[in-house]
Amino acid sequence: MADPEPTFRKIAMLLDASQSQLVLVDYQSRLMPAIFENTLVLANALRLAQLARLMEVPVWGTEQNPSRLGENAPEIRVLCDQTLSKMQFSGVEEGLGEWLRPPAKPVAGNARSLPKHLQKPAAQGDERNTIVLAGCEAHVCLLQTALDLLEDEFEVWVVTDACSSRTERNRDAAFDRLAGAGVELVTTEMVAFEWLRSAEHPAFKAAQALIK
Protein backbone atom coordinates (compact mmCIF):
# COMPACT_ATOMS: atom_id res chain seq x y z
CA MET A 1 0.00 0.00 0.00
CA ALA A 2 1.39 3.36 -1.06
CA ASP A 3 2.30 5.91 1.58
CA PRO A 4 -0.24 8.72 1.91
CA GLU A 5 0.69 11.97 0.21
CA PRO A 6 2.23 14.52 2.60
CA THR A 7 -0.02 17.31 3.75
CA PHE A 8 1.29 20.85 3.79
CA ARG A 9 0.26 23.15 6.58
CA LYS A 10 0.41 26.92 6.29
CA ILE A 11 2.90 28.37 8.78
CA ALA A 12 1.18 30.70 11.25
CA MET A 13 2.75 34.13 11.52
CA LEU A 14 2.12 37.44 13.19
CA LEU A 15 1.38 40.72 11.48
CA ASP A 16 4.35 43.07 11.15
CA ALA A 17 3.55 46.79 11.07
CA SER A 18 6.66 47.51 8.97
CA GLN A 19 5.40 45.13 6.26
CA SER A 20 1.70 46.08 6.40
CA GLN A 21 -0.68 48.35 4.52
CA LEU A 22 -4.31 48.98 5.47
CA VAL A 23 -7.10 49.12 2.87
CA LEU A 24 -10.58 50.32 3.91
CA VAL A 25 -13.26 49.36 1.40
CA ASP A 26 -16.44 51.36 0.80
CA TYR A 27 -17.61 52.76 4.16
CA GLN A 28 -19.93 55.06 2.24
CA SER A 29 -22.60 57.42 3.49
CA ARG A 30 -25.52 55.95 1.53
CA LEU A 31 -24.43 52.34 2.03
CA MET A 32 -23.63 52.17 5.74
CA PRO A 33 -27.20 52.68 7.08
CA ALA A 34 -28.22 49.40 5.40
CA ILE A 35 -25.24 47.43 6.73
CA PHE A 36 -25.64 44.83 9.51
CA GLU A 37 -24.03 46.12 12.77
CA ASN A 38 -23.01 49.28 10.93
CA THR A 39 -22.14 51.33 14.04
CA LEU A 40 -19.71 48.72 15.40
CA VAL A 41 -18.20 48.08 11.96
CA LEU A 42 -17.56 51.76 11.30
CA ALA A 43 -16.10 52.27 14.78
CA ASN A 44 -13.65 49.41 14.25
CA ALA A 45 -12.67 50.71 10.82
CA LEU A 46 -11.89 54.07 12.40
CA ARG A 47 -9.82 52.35 15.13
CA LEU A 48 -7.86 50.49 12.46
CA ALA A 49 -7.09 53.70 10.59
CA GLN A 50 -6.03 55.47 13.79
CA LEU A 51 -3.84 52.53 14.84
CA ALA A 52 -2.25 52.47 11.40
CA ARG A 53 -1.43 56.17 11.66
CA LEU A 54 0.12 55.63 15.11
CA MET A 55 2.37 52.90 13.74
CA GLU A 56 3.21 54.49 10.38
CA VAL A 57 1.26 51.96 8.35
CA PRO A 58 -0.01 53.37 5.00
CA VAL A 59 -3.81 53.68 4.79
CA TRP A 60 -5.78 53.52 1.53
CA GLY A 61 -9.51 53.82 0.88
CA THR A 62 -11.88 52.82 -1.90
CA GLU A 63 -15.33 54.12 -2.82
CA GLN A 64 -17.76 52.23 -5.05
CA ASN A 65 -19.61 54.50 -7.51
CA PRO A 66 -19.44 57.49 -5.13
CA SER A 67 -21.80 59.60 -7.26
CA ARG A 68 -24.55 57.14 -6.24
CA LEU A 69 -23.36 55.82 -2.86
CA GLY A 70 -21.61 58.91 -1.53
CA GLU A 71 -18.08 59.30 -0.21
CA ASN A 72 -16.61 57.32 2.67
CA ALA A 73 -17.41 58.55 6.17
CA PRO A 74 -15.37 61.77 6.60
CA GLU A 75 -13.58 60.48 9.71
CA ILE A 76 -12.33 57.52 7.62
CA ARG A 77 -11.54 59.54 4.51
CA VAL A 78 -9.33 62.06 6.32
CA LEU A 79 -7.07 59.27 7.61
CA CYS A 80 -6.47 57.73 4.16
CA ASP A 81 -3.37 58.59 2.15
CA GLN A 82 -5.50 58.32 -0.99
CA THR A 83 -9.02 57.15 -1.85
CA LEU A 84 -9.74 55.23 -5.05
CA SER A 85 -13.06 55.86 -6.81
CA LYS A 86 -14.17 52.76 -8.67
CA MET A 87 -16.97 51.22 -10.69
CA GLN A 88 -15.59 47.65 -10.70
CA PHE A 89 -16.40 45.79 -7.49
CA SER A 90 -12.76 44.79 -7.03
CA GLY A 91 -10.46 47.71 -6.33
CA VAL A 92 -7.63 45.75 -7.97
CA GLU A 93 -9.46 45.97 -11.31
CA GLU A 94 -9.22 49.78 -11.01
CA GLY A 95 -5.52 50.01 -10.13
CA LEU A 96 -5.36 49.41 -6.37
CA GLY A 97 -2.51 46.93 -6.80
CA GLU A 98 -0.33 49.61 -8.39
CA TRP A 99 -0.89 51.85 -5.35
CA LEU A 100 0.08 49.04 -2.99
CA ARG A 101 3.21 47.89 -4.85
CA PRO A 102 5.82 50.65 -5.33
CA PRO A 103 7.44 51.08 -8.75
CA ALA A 104 10.85 49.58 -9.36
CA LYS A 105 13.80 51.82 -8.60
CA PRO A 106 15.65 52.92 -11.76
CA VAL A 107 18.99 51.29 -12.55
CA ALA A 108 21.71 53.63 -11.31
CA GLY A 109 24.98 54.88 -12.74
CA ASN A 110 26.75 53.32 -15.69
CA ALA A 111 24.79 50.09 -15.36
CA ARG A 112 22.21 51.48 -17.80
CA SER A 113 24.83 51.41 -20.58
CA LEU A 114 25.47 47.68 -20.16
CA PRO A 115 23.79 45.14 -22.44
CA LYS A 116 20.46 44.09 -20.99
CA HIS A 117 21.60 40.55 -20.20
CA LEU A 118 24.36 41.96 -17.97
CA GLN A 119 22.16 44.44 -16.12
CA LYS A 120 20.90 43.54 -12.64
CA PRO A 121 17.09 43.45 -12.35
CA ALA A 122 15.64 46.74 -11.17
CA ALA A 123 15.17 46.77 -7.41
CA GLN A 124 11.68 47.12 -6.05
CA GLY A 125 10.86 50.09 -3.84
CA ASP A 126 10.25 49.52 -0.13
CA GLU A 127 7.67 46.76 -0.49
CA ARG A 128 4.94 46.12 2.06
CA ASN A 129 3.38 42.89 0.89
CA THR A 130 0.93 42.32 3.77
CA ILE A 131 -2.49 43.85 3.13
CA VAL A 132 -4.84 44.30 6.09
CA LEU A 133 -8.29 44.63 4.54
CA ALA A 134 -11.68 45.64 5.94
CA GLY A 135 -14.89 46.96 4.46
CA CYS A 136 -18.34 46.55 2.97
CA GLU A 137 -20.03 44.70 1.50
CA ALA A 138 -18.06 41.69 2.69
CA HIS A 139 -19.49 39.32 0.08
CA VAL A 140 -19.06 41.70 -2.87
CA CYS A 141 -16.42 44.44 -3.00
CA LEU A 142 -14.35 43.22 -0.07
CA LEU A 143 -14.38 39.59 -1.24
CA GLN A 144 -13.51 40.37 -4.85
CA THR A 145 -10.74 42.78 -3.84
CA ALA A 146 -9.26 40.23 -1.42
CA LEU A 147 -9.26 37.40 -3.98
CA ASP A 148 -7.66 39.60 -6.63
CA LEU A 149 -4.96 40.71 -4.16
CA LEU A 150 -4.21 37.04 -3.43
CA GLU A 151 -3.91 36.41 -7.16
CA ASP A 152 -1.43 39.30 -7.33
CA GLU A 153 0.67 37.54 -4.65
CA PHE A 154 -0.09 39.80 -1.72
CA GLU A 155 -0.65 38.32 1.74
CA VAL A 156 -4.22 39.24 2.72
CA TRP A 157 -5.60 39.58 6.24
CA VAL A 158 -9.30 40.46 6.64
CA VAL A 159 -10.46 42.17 9.83
CA THR A 160 -13.78 40.46 10.51
CA ASP A 161 -15.23 42.85 13.10
CA ALA A 162 -14.66 45.80 10.74
CA CYS A 163 -16.49 44.11 7.85
CA SER A 164 -20.13 43.48 7.12
CA SER A 165 -22.89 43.15 4.53
CA ARG A 166 -26.55 44.04 4.45
CA THR A 167 -27.28 40.60 5.90
CA GLU A 168 -25.42 38.50 8.43
CA ARG A 169 -25.70 35.43 6.21
CA ASN A 170 -23.91 37.12 3.29
CA ARG A 171 -21.20 38.41 5.63
CA ASP A 172 -20.56 34.97 7.11
CA ALA A 173 -20.56 33.30 3.68
CA ALA A 174 -17.86 35.76 2.62
CA PHE A 175 -15.70 34.87 5.65
CA ASP A 176 -16.08 31.14 4.89
CA ARG A 177 -15.00 31.62 1.30
CA LEU A 178 -12.10 33.93 2.18
CA ALA A 179 -10.76 31.46 4.77
CA GLY A 180 -10.98 28.67 2.21
CA ALA A 181 -8.99 30.75 -0.26
CA GLY A 182 -6.14 31.28 2.22
CA VAL A 183 -6.99 34.68 3.66
CA GLU A 184 -6.12 35.16 7.35
CA LEU A 185 -9.18 36.20 9.38
CA VAL A 186 -8.41 38.48 12.34
CA THR A 187 -10.05 41.07 14.60
CA THR A 188 -9.25 44.72 15.26
CA GLU A 189 -7.60 43.91 18.59
CA MET A 190 -5.53 41.13 17.03
CA VAL A 191 -4.21 43.60 14.46
CA ALA A 192 -3.46 46.20 17.14
CA PHE A 193 -1.50 43.91 19.45
CA GLU A 194 0.37 42.17 16.63
CA TRP A 195 1.44 45.53 15.19
CA LEU A 196 2.56 46.57 18.69
CA ARG A 197 4.19 43.26 19.76
CA SER A 198 5.20 44.73 23.15
CA ALA A 199 3.94 46.92 25.98
CA GLU A 200 7.21 48.80 25.52
CA HIS A 201 6.23 50.00 22.03
CA PRO A 202 6.24 53.84 21.96
CA ALA A 203 2.63 53.84 20.72
CA PHE A 204 1.35 51.31 23.27
CA LYS A 205 -0.51 53.73 25.57
CA ALA A 206 -2.14 55.60 22.68
CA ALA A 207 -3.14 52.33 21.00
CA GLN A 208 -4.51 50.92 24.25
CA ALA A 209 -6.66 54.04 24.67
CA LEU A 210 -8.13 53.49 21.18
CA ILE A 211 -8.92 49.86 21.93
CA LYS A 212 -10.57 50.62 25.29
Q: Is residue 118 in some structural domain?
A: no
Q: Helix crossing, 38-54 with 204-211: angle to 10°?
A: 180
pLDDT value of residue 194:
97
C-alpha 210/C-alpha 44 separation (Å) is 10
Domain with 82, as residue range(s), is 17-99+126-211
pLDDT value of residue 127:
86
- Count of domains in the chain? 1
Q: Is residue 154 in some structural domain?
A: yes
Q: Is residue 116 in some structural domain?
A: no
pLDDT value of residue 93:
97
pLDDT value of residue 122:
46
Q: Is residue 90 in some structural domain?
A: yes
pLDDT value of residue 123:
44
**Among candidates 178, 198, 169, which has minimal Cα distance to 25?**
178
Q: What is residue 22's three-state secondary structure?
A: strand
Q: Is residue 10 in some structural domain?
A: no
pTM: 0.86
**Among candidates 132, 145, 171, which has minimal Cα distance to 34?**
171
C-alpha 183/C-alpha 203 separation (Å) is 27
The parts of the chain modelled with pLDDT lower than 70 are 1-12, 104-125
Chain segment 109-154, per-residue pLDDT in tens: 555 555 655 555 444 457 899 999 999 999 999 999 999 999 999 9
CATH code of the domain containing 49 = 3.40.50.850
pLDDT value of residue 130:
98
**Among candidates 32, 29, 49, which has minimal Cα distance to 41?**
32
C-alpha 158/C-alpha 179 separation (Å) is 9
Q: Is residue 2 in some structural domain?
A: no
Q: Is residue 139 in some structural domain?
A: yes
